[in-house]
Chain A
Amino acid sequence: MTIFIDLYSEGNTFLHRLDPRVKIISVLLLSLLAFVLSTVYSLAALLAFIFLLLFLSRASMGRTWFALRFVLRFMALIVILWPIFDPAGTPVWAELGPVKVTEPAVWRGITSAVRVGCLACVWYILMFTTAQRDLVRALVRMGLRFDYGLTLAISLRFFPSFMATISSITDAQKARGLDFNRGGLIKRSKKHVAVLVPAVVAALRTADSLSLALQSRAYGARTDRTYMRQLKMRTFDYVALTIVTMLFIVPLTAKYLFLVHF
């Protein structure tokens, strides 16, 4: 199985070209919208809209399937478990001892599952179309302190190499006869100490040499930072932001001002 740690893939769709700040705000608004909407029909429409965007982002099938697999599994779990823990309403469809499955509960389960699907997929659009460095740049421009931005960028950057270190450590210990599949639960979890200790040491050593490397490249020498790449909002960005804001505002006012049930 391939693991995509960085979901971003190069591309030149309008979603790739959009200002990362607009993308972050849009994703936040669409996430909130998933909570404003409360019927299965409106949520399904939102999900369809998100899928359309996902499709337009031209992410490869492999990548999309990798990401969606987890979501679909989670959605299925919600649909199955919801009616079991929520016995309210009539008509009752099935009764088995203390477990009562009612029609409204089944619908509530489906509604929640679709909502979770919306929340997950909308964030996938952001991850698929925005490079990590642009995300961090956007967050810094939106007011995140630069140090924290750099910390975030470094952790994202080193995550894959840290995973590679862990897999190399696991190999090294297996080569010394460590069998992770043998023994009971406690014995087995104890075996992971042999991986955990070298992994933590490796991480600390990396952090140590990285901080030296940063200092020797004069990090922190001047406090007012300049940027080589400036983020600039273009007409298209404003249009996109307006559309998404309308998408959010209209159902919100309809629901709370005019009490229309969506």
Chain B
Amino acid sequence: MTVVPSTHGERLAAFENVNFSYEDGTEALRGITLDIRKGEQIALVGGNGSGKTTLAKHLNGLLKPTTGRVIVKGSDTRKEQVANLARIVGYVFQNPDHQLFCSTVAEEVRFGPMNFGLAEPEVERRTERALEIMTLERLKAEAPLSLSLGDRRRISIASVIAMAPEVIILDEPFTGLDAGEAESLMDVMREMNRQGTTIILITHDMRVVAEHSDRVIVLSHGRKVFDSKTRTAFSDLKLLRECGLIPPPAIQVAHHLREYGVSPEITTVEELADELARVLREQQ
């Protein structure tokens, strides 16, 4: 079942029947066709090895399709350098330690804009802004590698924000973060999204998916099995389970109470409470 969501904004990227095989012959993507539009907040989900990261790496040209095309802002990724696509698509890698190498946090954040060859004042402006967004001003003279994993993660995100990309991909950003840190990270991303940045989140945390995305793309064995608005994404429990996904507790409760007139099209605990209150009120 595929519902193509009628979404906002201009088309930023398009996958046209993309197949991708790794050199060892593993078929990681099979027949992927999808559009990504400006201002969307997309959750990319699926079991381990379903092709989430492989798909995301096609957006900034780190991987090029074996057959089919990926178009980012009108240009074919096969003809573009990763360094150029990085201006449009920012990628926050799973492991922040795979990118940190500078002696201060500020230098680390500056690295991206510097690679773009921007003028010094512009680099400074972007660095300051990114540090502020990720609340790192206090740490800007510290050595990144001496900080906690949560801080290192925030630095890696700030270094992508400083590049001011139109799309930010977060690849499993919650590993090693506590609930509070994860929550405030998603608040920041929501704010970035409100200001026009497209967010693509790769995660296994279905509660975050339900609460912080407006579109869900489900991959299974390299195929897109599902693509819809978040509100309707969790309606087919059987299909979700086949893809190794279990909806968050609030949605499961709503499903169990369906026969009492509770709508399963909720996303948060608050919405579940409202829905239950509504049903109870009607019965009185």
Contact = CB atoms under 8 A, between A and B. Distances in A.
A141 to B, nearest CB: 34
A193 B101 contact: yes
Contact of B98 (A165, A177, A178): A165
Interface stretch (B110-118, B133-141, B197-205, B235-243): B110-118
A176 B97 contact: no
Nearest to A171: B62
Interface string B87-107: 100110101011111000000
Interface string B14-54: 00000000011000000000000000000000000000000
Contact of A174 (B86, B87, B95): B86
Contacts of A202: 97-98
A177 B116 contact: yes
B99 A198 contact: yes
A10 interface: no
Given A2-B23, A201-B145, A177 B99 contact: no
B113 to A, nearest CB: 8
Contacts of B91: 172, 175
A175 B93 contact: yes
B182 interface: no
Contacts of B163: 176-177
Interface string B157-188: 00110010000000000000000000000000
Contact of B93 (A168, A178, A181): A168
A152 interface: no
B83 interface: yes
A176 B99 contact: yes
A175 B86 contact: yes
B194 to A, nearest CB: 24
A195 to B, nearest CB: 8
Interface in A184-206: 193-194, 196-198, 201-202, 205
A177 B112 contact: yes
Contact of B83 (A179, A196, A201): A179
Interface string B58-96: 001010000000000000000001110011001101010
Q: How large is the interface on A (under 10, 10 to 19, 20 to 34, 35 or more residues)?
A: 20 to 34
A164 to B, nearest CB: 11
A196 B97 CA distance: 12
Contacts of B101: 193-194, 196-198
A194 B83 contact: no
A171 B57 contact: yes
Nearest to B156: A172
A175 B60 contact: yes
Nearest to A3: B23
With a 10 A CB-CB cut-off, give which of A176, A181, A194 has the most chain B CB atoms. A176
Given A172-B93, A202-B97, A2 B115 contact: no
A177 B99 CA distance: 12
Interface in A120-178: 165, 168-169, 171-178
A171 B93 contact: yes
A179 B145 CA distance: 24
Interface of B: 23-24, 57, 60, 62, 81-83, 86-87, 90-91, 93, 95, 97-101, 111-112, 115-116, 145, 159-160, 163
26 contacts: A2-B23, A168-B93, A168-B98, A169-B98, A171-B57, A172-B93, A172-B98, A174-B62, A174-B82, A174-B86, A175-B86, A176-B111, A176-B112, A177-B83, A178-B83, A178-B111, A178-B115, A179-B81, A179-B82, A181-B81, A194-B111, A198-B99, A198-B101, A201-B97, A201-B145, A202-B98
